[in-house]
Amino acid sequence: PVVHPPEEITLVESLVDHPELGELIRDYLPLDLVSDPACRTIIETICNWTGETPLDLTSELIDENEECKRLAAQIQCTPPRAQGHEITPDLAVKDSILYIRRKALERERAGLEAQRDKVTGPDHERLDAQCKQLTLDIKMLRGSWDKALPLLDL
């Protein structure tokens, strides 16, 4: 069986249970940052849902690959997660967005660090400055949603 990133599955589960939260995804999560193709397709489908009719993922995903349809069916059959008093569906989606955005910046930083280690002089300085900025951005995304918002709005 295909292994899907747990944090992306968590986001899909939240959106299946609360498709109205797709607006947060549209505003704060570029879909190309979702690494798993099946999760990305399901998230995109939910984000394109207008709310005029009940969300029917099965029919919406009819033309997608088997893994995407299997995953959607599995998630739809999973009972909604019990939310704690502090964790609302809105907060769960925001946490997923912060996590996915942070992981993307960590991947970008790792790539820049590899480039930086191969060069000297001004190129090294420039790449080092970019790495330091990414480290600051990553730390900001570890904080609260409100503190991370200025970075998310970029």
Predicted local confidence at residue 85, as pLDDT = 63
Predicted local confidence at residue 81, as pLDDT = 67
Q: Which two tokens stand for residue 111?
A: 């790539």
- Please list, in sequence order, all residues whose beta carbon lies within 8 angstroms of the beta carbon of residue 69, skipping any fewer than 6 positions away: 58, 61, 62
Residue type for 97, please? I
Instruction: Report how far residue 139's alpha carbon sits from residue 1's, in angstroms, rounded to the nearest whole number.
Output: 34
Helix locations, the chain, DSSP H: 6-17, 22-28, 37-47, 57-60, 66-77, 89-116, 121-141, 145-152
Predicted local confidence at residue 118, as pLDDT = 97
pTM: 0.88
Q: What is the mean pLDDT of each run of 10 residues along the chain (154 residues)?
A: 91 93 95 96 93 85 93 88 74 95 96 97 97 97 94 82
Instruction: Report how far residue 24's alpha carbon sits from residue 140's, in angstroms, rounded to the nearest whole number.
Output: 19
